[in-house]
Amino acid sequence: MSLVYLFGALLVLMILILLTLSHPKSAQFAGHIALIGPVVSAVYFLYQIPRVLSQQVLHFKLTWLRSLDINIDLRIDGLSLLFSLLISFIGVAVFCYATQYLSNKHDNLPRFYIYLLLFMFSMLGIVTANNTILMYICWELTSISSFLLISYWYDREASQFGAIISFMITVLGGLALLTGFIMIYTITGTNSISEIMEQRHRLAESPLFLPIVVMLLLGAFTKSAQFPFHVWLPKAMEAPTPVSAYLHSATMVKAGIFLLIRFIPVLGLSQMYIYAVTFIGLITMIFGSVNALRQYDLKAILAYSTISQLGMIVSMIGLGAGYAQHTNDELTVVYVYILFTGLFHLINHALYKGALFMGVGLIDHETGTRDIRKLSGLRHFLPLTHIVMLLSALSMGGVPLLNGFLSKEMFFDGLLRAQHLPQFSGYIGFAVVALGVVASVFTFIYSLYMVKSVFWGEFSKERLPISRPKEPILFALPSIILTLMLPVIFVIPNVLTHFVLVPALQGLSGEGGIAKKAPIISQWHGFNLPLLLSAIVIVVGVIAVFKVKWLQFGRFEKGASLTKVYSRLYHEFEIHSSSSIRGLMNNRLNHYIVWTLLFFGVIVTYSICRVGFPKVHQIHVSDFGPLEILTLIVVFILGVALIFIRQRLTMVILNGIIGYCVTIFFILMKAPDLALTQLVVETITTILFIVSFSRLPNVPRGRGNRKRELLKIVVSLIMAIVVVMLVFIAQQGNHMATISTFYEKADELTGGKNIVNAILGDFRAFDTLFEGLVLIITGLGIYTLLNFKDRRGQDERE
């Protein structure tokens, strides 16, 4: 239950930040209010570590849509705890950093922090969800919140384009993910992730298993920017740097990683999954590292480095996914070792990538540029940032005495061990090792090259917009703290192993015995092949950094690239969709009504063709007398007259008379409650129409066009026939339970004598409440539009 309180607290903080919009002076405290969120979250999840260590699973379930098994189902095990801690602690650093990065004078702080808290809320929802539909909802919430954050500076064209590209790719991947979840539900009959794991062999035997694997991979690859869906991540760099730091280190891109790991027990039963994830990860790793060297923008370099590092983690997930098949103890140890390495590198990457982005943000904030062609010699002015970025870059490159070295050595060791696995023996295993080593060489090159270009060399006043950059200590403090963790983890890595990584493996497998197979991280393994590969990477990387002019490497632009392909597709889509919408949305209400009614008629006609035409001779017709016939004639005459009358006010009055005639029909059919409700609603509606039209110029309608009027009559007749057929079908639905039995005890349950009031006020109270809110919002909108001209004239006079 306490987990629900945490999410509730985050929502309350969003509301408090929203309230700061009411007063300009209170907006400056939005960041400090928002900081409470990650701090509370971090403390909460730290408190859960002892319980998870004892293999307790925290579970909260609130039934929502029982028939579809869609519930508020939350669960904390070791795996979700690892990601929750990552999201929370990196969140504390990012929120602190954002308070120094953004300005109350130039930025809308409440809006930014609401978006950022929603981002964090959504990510925590993904990693703690135990229901696939709940996970999907949070999955799309991350796409929405990231869209809002990337387009935060919405007056910039690049921000708009980056937000739309990222939104389109991730949402399309989310739809693929939803498709996969629906297919899983059709096989297992449940949306509970823990129950799905229990039926994993049943899933593997289903003919839908391969499509399920493909759909889930599309969702994960689009979210985690794997090749060829990586193009959105560099474009997302238009977001403020705190967003980039959070998105790249602990949120958004890690959602796809979490999905791949969480569903390993199911998806790992597919050989296609193992090969696809492994080789897509390695290709992404080498592609990202090579493209990082072609960038001039520091954030673009880090964006492609994130793509590369994510590819490295994904490849380890693919190599270790064979764990789900449990071939034998010897191979299980190898699978566990590789998965353990992936989780360990996940943490390392979050720390040094968060510090790197914060360093780049400080440089951009204080110098006014991120272009490495204009930056050099900054170590004299930004010494702390120089140390932060140097240590973080060396950790990313895998240099000893830093945490990145440990996971890089384990990565090489895992690649070598993978050659003993049945899926990667022979030439395939050699190709895996070769791709990993080559990508690591390029990783080291861009890591050191970035620091060399910005901080080393001579400072140039001519190329830099600001002559003497400053380094506020509070601005640099979050990145300094993250950087201090790099050597600390190198010294005591097994503390992290015991409290976080082993429980994560247990949460993945559901087995307590996994702790015995988890490796012990050691800083020194002796002279072996992984150490030799690390030495080769470092030596080749250092030589390449100082002997090759990498600035010229960025000039080699390809004539065609995936980014240009996506951009072209987006522009083509925008052109065709805008022309289609302009053709459909022509600001003519009659046009909209005709198309809507025709579409409805087609659907009903198709349904009748599938179900069967109603048997007219079986239709029960109520007794009727002269009064019913007279009322029907009046309604018919008024309906025909409305076609030819050109005055608005007359049309409104005649339409109201038709409504009152319907009231008479209800009375004659002995339904006084409906008659009373119809009378009140018709009166209010007629008055509202008259008041609204009284504010508009009384311009009579022009002469009717015969073709247009004939079309309206045809559409009206079609709708009349459709409604009559629906009435016939409803009368013949004897095999279906009538809804009236549900309201038989309405008087006893609600105390209401009017059944309509009882339904609206008690049985469907929330529905009525929200309908009332919609009407209020609509009324305010109409009032604003009616008074727009007056206000505009007033503004012009002022």
Mind spelling out the 3-state secondary structure of 132-198?
A: HHHHHHHHHHHHHHHHHHHCCCCCCHHHHHHHHHHHHHHHHHHHHHHHHHHHHHHHHCCCEHHHHHH
Euclidean distance between CA atoms 335 and 312, whole angstroms:
16
Euclidean distance between CA atoms 345 and 353, whole angstroms:
11
**So what's the pLDDT on residue 795?**
44
Residues near 688 by Cβ (< 8 Å), separated by ≥ 6? none
Spans of the chain below 70 pLDDT: 1, 22, 326-328, 460-468, 510-515, 550-561, 611, 613-621, 695-704, 730-737, 788-798
Q: Residues 474-496: pLDDT tens digits?
A: 888 999 999 999 999 999 999 98
Which residue matches tokens 């796809």? 256
Tally of CA atoms within 13 A in the half-sphere of 485 that contains its CB: 19
Residue 315: closest CA among 197, 403, 423: 423
Euclidean distance between CA atoms 411 and 314, whole angstroms:
12
**The length of the chain, given as a count of residues:** 798
Euclidean distance between CA atoms 289 and 544, whole angstroms:
14
Here the tokens at position 202 are 């049943």
Euclidean distance between CA atoms 363 and 375, whole angstroms:
9
**So what's the pLDDT on residue 797?**
43
The predicted model scores a pTM of 0.81
Residue 285: closest CA among 259, 304, 265, 262: 304
Euclidean distance between CA atoms 647 and 655, whole angstroms:
12
With residues binned 3-state (H G I as helix, E B as strand, rest as coil), the percentages for the chain, rounded to 5, are 75, 5, 20
For residue 689, CA distances in Å to 685, 692, 775, 782 come to 6, 5, 14, 12
Here the tokens at position 153 are 């500076």
For residue 751, CA distances in Å to 46, 526, 674, 768 come to 51, 83, 18, 18
Q: Residues 280-336: pLDDT tens digits?
A: 999 999 999 988 888 888 998 999 999 999 999 999 999 988 888 766 677 888 888
Kindly compute the dihedral angle of the four CA atoms of residues 11, 16, 22, 23, in this order, to the nearest 10 degrees.
-150
Here the tokens at position 635 are 């309604």
DSSP string, 285-352: HHHHHHHHTT--BHHHHHHHHHHHHHHHHHHHHHHHGGGGG---HHHHHHHHHHHHHHHHHHHHHHHH
What are 60's strand-pairing partners? 74
- Sign of the dihedral defined by the CA atoms of residues 174, 175, 180, 186, in that order: positive
- Decide: 253 and 330 in contact? Cβ < 8 Å: no
Here the tokens at position 703 are 């002469």
Burial 434-458 (b: 16+ CB within 10 A, else e): ebbbbbbbbbbbbbbbbbbbbbeee
**So what's the pLDDT on residue 176?**
95
Euclidean distance between CA atoms 44 and 124, whole angstroms:
12
**So what's the pLDDT on residue 346?**
93
Which residue matches tokens 């070792």? 337
**Mutual orientation of helices 427-455 and 403-418 as an angle, nearest 10°?**
160
Which residue matches tokens 């991350």? 142
What are 618's strand-pairing partners? none
End-to-end C-alpha distance for the chain, whole angstroms? 56
Q: Can you give the three-state secondary structure of 700-740, one letter per residue?
A: CCCCCCHHHHHHHHHHHHHHHHHHHHHHHHHHCCCCCCCHH
Q: Is 61 left (phi over 0), alpha (psi -120 to 50) or beta?
A: beta
For residue 469, CA distances in Å to 101, 378, 432, 459 come to 15, 8, 45, 11
Residues near 612 by Cβ (< 8 Å), separated by ≥ 6? none
**So what's the pLDDT on residue 644?**
74
